[in-house]
Amino acid sequence: MGHGGGGALSAELVDGVFAPAFGNPVLAQLADSAVVRLGAARLAFSTDSYVVRPLFFPGGCIGDLAVNGTVNDLAMSGAVPAFLSTAFVLEEGVAMDVVERVAGAVGAAARAAGVTVATGDTKVVESGHGDGVYITTSGIGLVPDGVDIRPQRARPGDAVLVSGPIGLHGVAIMSVREGLEFGVDVASDTAPLAGLVEAMLRVTPDIHVLRDPTRGGLAASLNEIARASGTGVRLTERAVPVPDAVANACAFLGLDPLYVANEGRLVAFVAREHADAVLAAMREHPQGAGAALVGECVEDHPGMVVVSTGLGGTRVVDMPLGEQLPRIC
Amino acid sequence: MGHGGGGALSAELVDGVFAPAFGNPVLAQLADSAVVRLGAARLAFSTDSYVVRPLFFPGGCIGDLAVNGTVNDLAMSGAVPAFLSTAFVLEEGVAMDVVERVAGAVGAAARAAGVTVATGDTKVVESGHGDGVYITTSGIGLVPDGVDIRPQRARPGDAVLVSGPIGLHGVAIMSVREGLEFGVDVASDTAPLAGLVEAMLRVTPDIHVLRDPTRGGLAASLNEIARASGTGVRLTERAVPVPDAVANACAFLGLDPLYVANEGRLVAFVAREHADAVLAAMREHPQGAGAALVGECVEDHPGMVVVSTGLGGTRVVDMPLGEQLPRIC
């Protein structure tokens, strides 16, 4: 299970098995989406499979997740998401009204994100060889001229911005799984982020890095950026927006909110001189109302993420090995 | 299971559930791939999930199938396939060497087809919620100027061409499933068809329709074309190339070769005046060596496919309801 968790074991699978087998320079970028040239167009292209359990959870379902997740991966390259494909693997015996509700959520989320579902596929597997509904979405979008957003572009001195409170998706899933209840209603943050990214790019096309911290949470995303760019990242713990409900749930379960999945948040690396203006633009956008400056990119400890604790100390934020909770997305 | 078979039940699911939920004019084309405009580029975009059982079969495995299938869907729009995405859903406990062999086959098939695997994803589900490996591939490619290939363009008078012997993929899968053996080695025809399509388009850019008759076989593809174009199709039974091994297996199992799946064949509708030249170009290409003129597009019985039998009679070739064999691809 750990190999699917978005942490070190996932990276091992990609670096050790898939990258050598498929080996090519585009794949080697290891960004949320690939940026490729096709004719005169510069395109972002991305894919994700969604196997979240349960199918319906507070704040959303596998349908909106599958749309927003791929829309967000495209947006993390600065692309304007345009077209999606959806491929369903249905388990024999799944109720038709479940399929209809999920399909309805896909359609509604696509309309909300301003993308067109252009093509699709459906396969059915025998009962006991699936889990109701799996969805794989892929997406394409145009990357505007002058935009070059990728993890390798993090630079010492960059401000690290987060678009809002973290941990809500992971805690929402936990709240309905395994009978855990935290006494507070927590809803997934699943949302499309392309509009927020557009607003940020209007301030400056020179955003260095964007990432949506899904599986593995903020910790995995920041570690990936630190490694790809050969820089260090220093977070200020009390600057990271953690809702009380998330803090309480994490304390109860012995988890660190930095490792909990998000589905409607982004982390941005921006040159210091643009940081205040970008942060202001984020806060004016509904998806960035809770945006915060949470740290900086540093020359020290390249490839490593540390957090300054409230007590004046620092601790290392490692890449997660596997996954705190399987099948979070 | 029938809803995944590519026949009438699949069409019901698409028309009744997915199309209304996602509703838009691009999806309504119902071609193997969507043709969309993005910036200055006209692109084909396609996706398919692969759940074939067993993972390895005579002539190939789920890895080459996943590459060739999506490459072929793009080629059926006349596009030059360029980039693929691959999303793996692995079942917990699947042997790592199985994943490595499948990944190796994906890489080799991509190189053979001249496409780049640009991006990917891996999820892991618990044992008992998958079947070793499911793969969803999506692809994009440029559609050359002046090319407009879609099922709606079939015209009475068009020649109907098939690129080679039919039924090999389906019979190869049957031969290793459920302990069926036919005394003859039959290998899947899985192969990339983009090079063949390029050769055909060099004869004339005005190919009307292309389709790769996978699930549901030639019967499903021709019925879809007849319905989309409001024309009829008349096949000549003895002109359809059916290998002896396929004929024998079908006789034994009570199947009709017209309904058996192919993974390396195409059917083309071409204006009569181009048919001989296109057929000659197909036969010069390795993937079209066994190409044949198998019928014509007619004004009679719009939306319906009939076959002239060797005895001078005709019979209707209906849309299949479900699938002769589940999980053929």
Which of the four pLDDT bands, split at 50, 70 and 90, describes residue A178? low
Q: How far apart are CA A256 and CA B320, in angstroms?
A: 54
- A120·B27 Cβ contact <8 A: yes
- B45·A110 Cβ contact <8 A: no
B96 at interface of A, judged by CB pairs closer than 8 A: yes
pLDDT digits over A8-61, tens only? Answer: 888 888 888 888 888 776 666 667 789 999 988 899 999 999 999 999 999 999
B144 at interface of A, judged by CB pairs closer than 8 A: no
For A144, which residue in chain B has the nearest alpha carbon?
B39
Q: Which domains does chain B have, with CATH numbers?
A: 31-142 (3.30.1330.10), 151-316 (3.90.650.10)
Q: What is the per-residue pLDDT for B181? A: 67
Closest C-alpha among B201, B205, B221, B224 to residue B213: B221
A259 at interface of B, judged by CB pairs closer than 8 A: no
Average pLDDT over residues A209-222: 96
Average pLDDT over residues B45-74: 97
Q: How far apart are CA A324 and CA A177, in angstroms?
A: 13
Q: How far apart are CA A25 and CA A29, in angstroms?
A: 7
Q: How far is A99 from chain B (nearest CA, A)?
A: 8
DSSP per residue over A209-220, as a string? EEE---TTHHHH
B131 at interface of A, judged by CB pairs closer than 8 A: yes
State how far Cα B297 lies from the chain centre.
20
- A22·B99 Cβ contact <8 A: no
A103 at interface of B, judged by CB pairs closer than 8 A: yes
Phi–psi pair at B268, nearest 5 degrees:
-125, 140
Average pLDDT over residues B43-49: 97
For A11, which residue in chain B has the nearest alpha carbon?
B122
Q: Which two tokens stand for residue A297?
A: 């990119």
- A13·B122 Cβ contact <8 A: yes
Specify the 3-state DSSP secondary structure of B196: helix
pLDDT digits over B250-286, tens only? Answer: 998 888 999 999 999 999 999 999 999 999 999 999 9
User: How long a stretch of residues is chain B?
Assistant: 329
Specify the 3-state DSSP secondary structure of B254: coil
Listed in order, strand segments (DSSP E) in chain B are 34-38, 41-50, 56-57, 60-61, 80-91, 116-125, 133-142, 159-162, 207-211, 232-236, 267-270, 292-298, 305-308, 314-316
Q: What is the per-residue pLDDT for B2? A: 81
Residues in B 107-126 with any Cβ partner in A closer than 8 A: 107, 110, 116-126
- B17·A86 Cβ contact <8 A: no
Lowest mean pLDDT among A309-313, B18-22, B88-92, B320-324: B320-324
A46 at interface of B, judged by CB pairs closer than 8 A: yes
Neighbours of A15 (CB within 10 A): 12
B28 at interface of A, judged by CB pairs closer than 8 A: no
- B125·A4 Cβ contact <8 A: yes
Strands B56-57 and B80-91: unpaired
Cα–Cα distances (Å) from A22 to A28, A62, A239, A270, in that order, read: 10, 29, 41, 32
Residue pairs spanning A and B at CB distance below 8 A: 245
Closest C-alpha among B89, B72, B143, B85 to residue B116: B85
Q: Which two tokens stand for residue B261?
A: 């799946």
- From chain B, the residues in CB contact with A48 under 8 A are 87, 121
- At B132, which amino acid appears? G
For A53, which residue in chain B has the nearest alpha carbon?
B125
Residue with tokens 């601790």: A315
B178 at interface of A, judged by CB pairs closer than 8 A: no
